[in-house]
Structure 1
Amino acid sequence: MQAILDVSNDNIVITDGHGKVLKASPNCYSIYGMKTDELLGKNVDELERMDVFSPSVTKRVIEERKEVQLMQHTLTDRYVMATALPVFDDRGKIIRVISFSHDLTELRQIKEDYEELQSKMAYYESEIKELRDKEQNTNGIVLKSKEIHQVWQLIQRVAASDATVVFLGESGVGKNVFARAIHEKSIRSKEAFVEVNCGAIPETLFESEMFGYERGAFTGADQNGKPGLIELANKGTLFLDEVGELPLNLQAKLLKVIQEKKVTRIGGTEPKAIDFRIIASTNRDLKEMVEAGKFREDLYYRLNVVPITIPPLRERKDDLLYLFDYFLDMFNEKYETDKVLHASTIREMLEYSWPGNVRELENLMERLVITTESRMIYPDTLPFQRQHGFAQETMEEEVEQAEQAANLPEALEEVEIRWLKRAYRQYKTTYEMAKYLGISQSSVVRKLQKYKINS
């Protein structure tokens, strides 16, 4: 028997019917971190509590009275496949349990590498298809979906002209990116592109910022005077972002400048001719604002020469994979990392509605690249609730369910089951579940068995 243990390539442990270790092969040290003489005489319950191996396959055999196979994590941070068989006497009593295990740590690493390769293959296939279809990715504008293709074709047609363009769409769809694209494709591309956020400039400062002022125009003014943003856009493009936020009294002054292409600084008397192109954007319905008396009708028609609506991200799902790739590459390069999205993470992100549009996606990708510890980005790092039946119950629902229980122990048990199920859905190992729940790994295993949450 000892000769077999000494020459075996497997890690063999033999216990009595109560889980007390009787014999163990010498190579157990490399896997379990304990020498043979340290294992002998100890019970598997004690060894499990010491995290020498977890969970105990021998313990399961004694409980179930049949052969058991499971994955173990060991004290040396190895992952092994353990198989154990019971030995019965003539009366059907377990007198020995023989277990043997194979180190699968390298196989686990191969599995992760394979999953990473699958993710990369998905990206490569997308890139090949994109090249085959002669699709473009210009300065963060992914041109995959039919909807965005139509927008891009319209932009290319109007870029060469000097027509006023107004971009319509929800916040975060990238209206400013498309506005800059028009400027860069126009004859004014070598001149200034001046972006003005109409909702960010206080009303009291708007005139001085937009039109500029002469020396000594008011208390605290620069002694040399200051050109306004409109002057700075001379020969170039003036982009009025969120133009729907402009107060009515300022709309009239802006309209005059747009019509006459002349600007008079505050404190000045001589108007100065300015040559600029107007591009505007808004997430408001300007037509409704005109009808409600909140936006000047004449300014509306002056701006609404070529309206271009940018569809929200939820209506152009075909762009998502390419946007994932674009922003992941961008932030990997920025932060000198090499993060990869797991296939299940990509599935979750594809099914999300993205209410914040491209801006939300960009911010999320930066967050994931910065905060994710491992190279592989798994779904549990996503901040939004999971879709297709995996949505987490809200705390209010948990409280409501618990209140329906007959007594306090039942209520606590109901909450405990919900938390365990949530952790079981989100994490891959009982160690990760334990960290999430704030309890020991062995407690997680016992509770999962108690409530029959895993099979």
Structure 2
Amino acid sequence: MEQIGILLPRQTILEFAENVLKKEGIEVQILKVVENANAVVEAQEALAAGVRIIIARGLQATLIKENTNIPVVEMPVTIREIGMMILKAKRMLKKEHPLIGIVAFKNMFDSLDHLEELFDCGLRFYELKALEETRRKVSQAVADGVDLIIGGVKANQTAFEIGFPSLFIETGEESIRSALGLAIHMIDLAKMEKQNEAQIETLLDTSFSGIIKINAYKEIVTVNRVIEQLMGKPASEVVGFPIDKVIRGIDTEGIEGILRGSEELYSTSFSIGDQPLMVVGAPIQYDGHFSGAILTCHKMRGIERRDSEAAETKLASGYIASRNFNHILRQSPEMKRCMKLARSYAISKSPVMICGETGTEKEVFAEAVHNNSPQKGGPFLNVNCGSLSPQEQREVIFGVSEECRKGAWEIASYGTVLLQEVDKLSLETQYLLYKAVHDKQFWCNNSMVKRALPVRLMVTTSEELAMLLKNGLFREDLYFLLSSLKIELPPLRKTKEDIPRLIHLYLERFNAAYSRYVEISETALKAMEEYDWEGNLLQLEMFCERLILTAPRRRVEEGMVKNLLQELYPLIREQSGRIQPVLLKSPEAVRIAGLLDRYQGNRTMVAEELKISTTTLWRKMKRYGIGSKYEL
């Protein structure tokens, strides 16, 4: 028996339906005549009885669709059936070319096209939007001069009351057979979909990889058991939530790229708990639109270690990388591109080179790469090569075998060594480093020993290594080993859109630290935005701290900012063989400062000399930042 309910408005249509079911050898769960007022209740009772699809027509179909979630197959009258009614009307009227009015809901008919030509009559269609419109539409049809009205129960009742000719819209076997076939097809499709869902669910739960499905709004739709185990939560606690709220530090920019269709080949890395994952993303595309994405998460295996070594090397001597990608302060498009690159490199075990000026977050990037890599569980050692002599470099990195003193390379076994200022390495240490990484040969007891230490190398530099290579100060083999996985971090002056947010972040931090309530004016903020900040985030952070500590008023104005910038970071030039700071760059500023010195800060006399008002002078002093000496 098919899980179908057929609800009909008249007994005659029910008899047609019984004939069709008998001929087709089909049994349905419910077949009955219902009143319009009871259609919704009857449909709800049918659903409770196990019916999965309702077949109905006209107003009843509309009411059921609007008031329930039950799938409805409508029974529109076919052209052939309409044609039979027109012929019947012509016989009733005994008129060659009658004008017939049809008063009905639009969903009652497949089409009314070309019927006038086919049956030599005039047709007027009076569409009902609601049952209450029936009397008005019938009156309108009569006023328009129609000879007969074809309609449903209400239209026929109204026409009968005024003594006007009418015919009921009969649904014949053809319409019923068509609707029944569609309903059975829909049930078959639903069964297939249910089977597919069961198969997919089995596939997800038996997969060794974690699988996350998200919709177009980045909300989690489903996760498999692997992800549940990693998160320590059942799917019910995460489904429906935005993925970036459930998995902290995930690359939301990359996911948005998948959903836009701009990321055809997408891979990245992130961690759930202590487990680093390599993630491959693919969009779900249907009918030309991207409706979501599938993220396949592969566990990244750490380097296999012996049980006796595991405890010794796990977070050796407290060498821990505590920062991740969410600790990177700059969020400009160029920095997001660098983060995307770094996430991709994290999957690899090859050396990574991070280039950038002082204060461009090189160390944060290195720690983030480590914390999203197979080496995450191991130590993270940070060595600054610039502060060491050539002999110290070799000893710190590779140890002193005579004294049984381990170097960073051994201590960081199963982890990462970060060499800062790699450009300062001596050529000898460069050679030893290349052999250790590429050839797995380790310097021990004044000779090279074959020893594969599971260590990942990362380096930072603020110099252009290609120039050092050209000048013979950097080894060619090491250069090519390091430069493949390279991240170029832009200076702050090239990502000026980051500056306002950083300023507010630092000011908020230092206001809280020193219990002060200093704010900055728009003009002062603009002056800081326009400054080049050669020391990048480090310089900006320290400047903001000084600003908070020494601000004489609660509101910092442009003059104080410019004055402090010139005081802390003066321009340097050589004049007559002497190096001296240049406090003022503008000729006008130099002249004003000179006059203020001459007249001992008397602004009235300076204004008279310059032939400007004291107010204009005050504004110029404020603009050039030359006011603090004269109590501006």
TM-score (normalizing by structure 2): 0.40
> In the alignment, what sits opposite 2:565?
384
Q: Which moved more, 1:352-361 or 1:257-266?
A: 257-266
Structure 2 residue 383 is matched with structure 1 residue 192 = no
What SS does the corresponding residue of 1:347 show, helix, strand or coil?
A: helix
Instruction: Write the distance in 1 (CA, Å) between the matches of 2:524 and 2:344.
Output: 38
Change over 3 Å in CA distance of 1:271–1:363 after alignment to 2? farther
Alpha carbons 2:418, 2:457 under 8 Å: kept:
yes
Amino acid at match of 1:158: Y
* Letter of the 1:384 counterpart: L
Cα-to-partner distance string for 1:325-367 (whole Å, 9 max, x where unaligned): 3323333444444443333221211121222212211221222
The aligned length equals 286
Flag the 1:422–1:364 CA change in 2: closer, same or farther, 3 A: farther
**Structure 1 position 213 matched with structure 2 position 382:** no
1:310: how far off? 0.8
Question: Would the aligned equivalents of 1:151 and 1:310 in 2 still touch at CA under 8 Å?
Answer: yes
Amino acid at match of 2:629: Y
Letter in 2 for 1:278: L
2:345 counterpart letter in structure 1: V
DSSP-derived class of the 2:343 partner: helix
**How many angstroms apart in 1 are the aligned matches of 2:434 and 2:597?**
65
The alignment status of 1:287 with 2:474, answered yes or no, reads no
Which protein shows a greater Rg? 2
Question: 1:23-43 CA distances to partner (integer Å, 9 max, x unpaired)?
Answer: xxxxxxxxxxxxxxxxxxxxx
Contact map agreement 1:168 1:307 (CA 8 A) in 2: yes
Does residue 463 of structure 2 align to residue 277 of structure 1? no
Counterpart CA distance in 2 for 1:250 and 1:338 is: 51
5 Å-filtered alignment, 1:110-125, equals none
Confirm or deny: 8 A CA contact 1:423 1:437 kept in the other structure: no
Separation in 2 of the partners of 1:348 and 1:393?
A: 15
Counterpart code for 1:296: R
Relative to structure 1, the CA distance from residue 380 to residue 166 in structure 2 (aligned partners, 3 Å threshold; closer, same or farther) is: same
Determine the C-alpha separation between the residues in 1 that align with 2:373 and 2:520: 37
Q: Which residue of 2 aligns with 1:176?
A: 363
Report the AA paired with residue 167 of structure 1: I
CA distance in 2, matches of 1:139, 1:334: 22
Distance (Å, rounded) in 2 between the aligned partners of 1:247 and 1:156: 31
Q: How does 1:20-59 map to 2 (within 5 A)?
A: none
The verdict on how the C-alpha distance between 1:415 and 1:347 changes in structure 2, with shifts beyond 3 A counting, is: same
Q: Deviations over 1:224-277 (max 9, x none)?
A: x32111122211111111111112222112211122345344579866542111
Distance between the aligned counterparts of 1:346 and 1:397, measured in 2? 23
**Any conservation in 1 of the 2:493–2:532 contact (CA below 8 Å)?**
yes
Task: Tell me what 1:412 maps to.
Answer: 598
Task: Return closer, same or farther for 1:274/1:377 CA change in 2, 3 Å cut-off.
Answer: farther
Q: 1:256, 1:141 → 2: CA distance? A: 33
User: Quick check: 2:420–2:460 contact (8 Å CA) kept in 1?
Assistant: yes
Aligned equivalents of 1:210, 1:161: Cα separation in 2:
22
In the TM superposition, residue 396 of structure 1 has moved relative to its aligned partner by: 9.1
Aligned: 1:437 with 2:630 = yes
Cα deviation for residue 138 of structure 1 reads: 4.5
Q: Using CA pairs under 8 Å that are at least 6 residues apart, name the structure with larger relative contact order, 1 or 2.
A: 1
The alpha-carbon deviation at position 205 of structure 1 amounts to 1.5
CA-based RMSD: 4.0
* 1:235 maps to which of 411, 414, 422: 414
TM-fit CA distance, 1:203: 2.0
Instruction: Identify the residue that residue 48 of structure 1 maps to in structure 2.
Output: none
| TM superposition shift of 1:302 | 0.8
Partner Cα distance (1:398, 1:206) in 2:
49
- Whether the 8 Å CA contact 1:167–1:280 is kept in 2: the answer is yes
Cα distance in 1 between the residues matched to 2:252 and 2:448: 55
Relative to structure 1, the CA distance from residue 233 to residue 327 in structure 2 (aligned partners, 3 Å threshold; closer, same or farther) is: farther
Q: 5+ residue gaps in structure 2?
A: 1-250, 255-323, 568-581
Contact 1:264/1:272, CA 8 A, preserved across alignment: no
Match of 1:324 in 2: 503
Question: Percent identity of the aligned residues?
Answer: 29
Corresponding position: 1:156 with 2:372: no
* Structure 1 residue runs without a partner (length 5+): 1-132, 404-408, 439-443, 445-455
8 Å CA contact retained: 1:231, 1:274: yes
CA distance in 1, matches of 2:586, 2:330: 41
Distance (Å, rounded) in 1 between the aligned partners of 2:331 and 2:554: 28
Report the Cα offset of residue 139 of structure 1.
4.7
Shift of 1:201: 1.2
Q: Distance in 2 between matches of 1:144 and 1:437?
A: 40
Q: Give CA-to-partner distance per residue, 1:178-237, whole Å, 9 cap, x none.
A: 1111112223223221111111112232221111123xx3xxx6xxx3211112221111
Distance across 2 between alignment mates of 1:296 and 1:270: 21
Shift in CA distance, 171/333, structure 1 to aligned 2, threshold 3 Å: same
Q: Secondary structure at the match of 1:186?
A: coil
The answer for the alignment partner of 1:263 in structure 2 is: 442
Matched residue, 2:432? 253
Contact 1:239 1:279 in 2 (8 A): yes
Cα distance change on mapping 1:399 and 1:138 into 2, 3 Å: closer
Contact 2:584 2:590 (C-alpha < 8 Å) held by counterparts: no
Cα distance 1:411–1:284, how it changes in 2: closer, same or farther (>3 A)? closer
1:299 and 2:478 are equivalent in the alignment:
yes
- 1: distance between equivalents of 2:349 and 2:445? 28
Distance of aligned partners of 1:238 and 1:436 in 2 relative to their CA distance in 1, 3 Å threshold? same
Residue identity in the other structure for 1:195: N
Q: Is the 8 A contact 1:398 1:415 kept in 2?
A: no
In 1, the alpha carbon distance for the partners of 2:617 and 2:386 equals 42
Q: What SS does structure 2 have at the residue aligned with 1:359?
A: helix
